[in-house]
Structure 1
């Protein structure tokens, strides 16, 4: 479960679009690849998530990216891929938070049907130190055989704020990033019984990359649980 939570912060194939689409200064096109490597608190590699842009297309005035995501553990064993979607409106980037739910479906919950009720994490086109960001929210219902919900899962990213700026170097390059902190609250209900968890997440973003350059996860006592790094980007 801890690895799955870290993976979240560390996300169907459509007709190919050969021409790059601009998104907040980023030129995005089909076939682009990204790699987010994951480490535990002792800096030991525990896996990575491989992303590939499958399609970039226009929907109204927005640019929509369909992205394949696949988790690979430290031994190279891969889980089935899943698809996430990012939307660029011209003023903000809206990230898809459903990756964790889809990853769980590919595991022990693969026979369950999932219905998303909320799924949105917004990054403004321009970040400034001291800026407060809107909450991110994801909520899903799980059911089986067409019956009523057997489980509900929700996650809220609250108190999101740009705390400062920091230069970070990875194998993908050196980036001038904005440090963003948030409080993450989870609540899963199975047969009406709630299971709750909280953690604090600190991410480091730059305005010309789709994914976070670095993401750190801390438990409710402030102890580092693990982190991810953007290690490849083309």
Structure 2
């Protein structure tokens, strides 16, 4: 369950350092940093995730960002950093979710090999109220000595832009789009299935890579926790 909550919070992130690229209204540049703070349902801080853009480069007509993420709990203990890859095509922003699996592998199955089957979540360049977004999925397996130790599959479905709402955080005030998604999660350890489902409500703007705010609710509609963008430069 701790791994699941960590993934959700997280859902729950230049070959030359002086080089910058504009895409979808965002200026993408190495050295840019963000901080997302995490809270439980009672508004108690549970940690933070620090992101830093390490590299921005072109791949064909797309702009690709390599972003390092570092999670720190409320006691200041840090987990192993991992890398997220974002791709801006000019029409959409594509998040590569494999970094979350890399983090789990580093903490739970250090000797296992990770094999990814699918790992992306797509945001259109322009959001609008009533807009339906494509499903996102992350699917992977952990293999050790030729044996599959764990399978994991996370699907975000029924993604729809419901409304616009102003959100104020320590990073500023943003006129955001409210997006609701259904999330299903299944893991199989030695063939034994573990399933869970929940709802994610995120608040985004077209000009930011990360959500301004993201809330996670259990299948009964009870708030589990949320994240806030607390720093951006």
Same fold, judged at TM 0.5 (above): yes
2:106 counterpart of 1:103: no
Residue correspondences, number: 231
After superposition, the Cα gap between the structure-2 partners of 1:112 and 1:16, relative to the gap in structure 1 and judged at 3 Å, is farther
The separation in 2 between residues aligned to 1:18 and 1:115, in whole angstroms, is 34
Partner of 2:199: 200
Asked whether the 8 Å contact 2:6–2:12 carries over to 1, the reply is no
Alignment of 1:203-222 (within 5 A): 203-222=202-221
Alignment of 1:134-153 (within 5 A): 134-145=134-145, 147-153=146-152
Asked whether the 8 Å contact 2:82–2:100 carries over to 1, the reply is no
The separation in 1 between residues aligned to 2:118 and 2:162, in whole angstroms, is 27
Asked whether the 8 Å contact 1:10–1:38 carries over to 2, the reply is no
Deviation of 1:5 after TM superposition, in Å, equals 3.5
Partner of 2:55: 55
Give unmatched runs, 5+ long, in structure 1. none
Partner of 1:226: 225
Give the TM-score, by structure 2 length: 0.96
Query: CA deviation digits over 1:184-211, x for unaligned, max 9?
Result: 0001011111110111000000011000
Query: SS in structure 2 opposite 1:106?
Result: helix
The separation in 2 between residues aligned to 1:230 and 1:9, in whole angstroms, is 13
The separation in 1 between residues aligned to 2:16 and 2:50, in whole angstroms, is 19
Deviation of 1:106 after TM superposition, in Å, equals 1.9
Deviation of 1:7 after TM superposition, in Å, equals 2.2
Q: Cα RMSD over matched residues?
A: 1.2
Asked whether the 8 Å contact 1:205–1:212 carries over to 2, the reply is yes
Partner of 2:116: 116
Q: Which has the higher strand share?
A: 2
The separation in 1 between residues aligned to 2:89 and 2:55, in whole angstroms, is 16
Partner of 1:8: 10
> Bigger CA drift: 2-11 or 84-93?
2-11
> Bigger CA drift: 72-81 or 14-23?
14-23
The separation in 2 between residues aligned to 1:108 and 1:233, in whole angstroms, is 31
Partner of 1:170: 169
Asked whether the 8 Å contact 1:8–1:99 carries over to 2, the reply is no
Query: SS in structure 2 opposite 1:211?
Result: coil
Query: CA deviation digits over 1:39-70, x for unaligned, max 9?
Result: 00000000010000000000000000000001
Alignment of 1:25-64 (within 5 A): 25-64=25-64
Give unmatched runs, 5+ long, in structure 2. none
Asked whether the 8 Å contact 2:133–2:159 carries over to 1, the reply is yes
The separation in 2 between residues aligned to 1:197 and 1:16, in whole angstroms, is 43
Asked whether the 8 Å contact 2:96–2:119 carries over to 1, the reply is yes
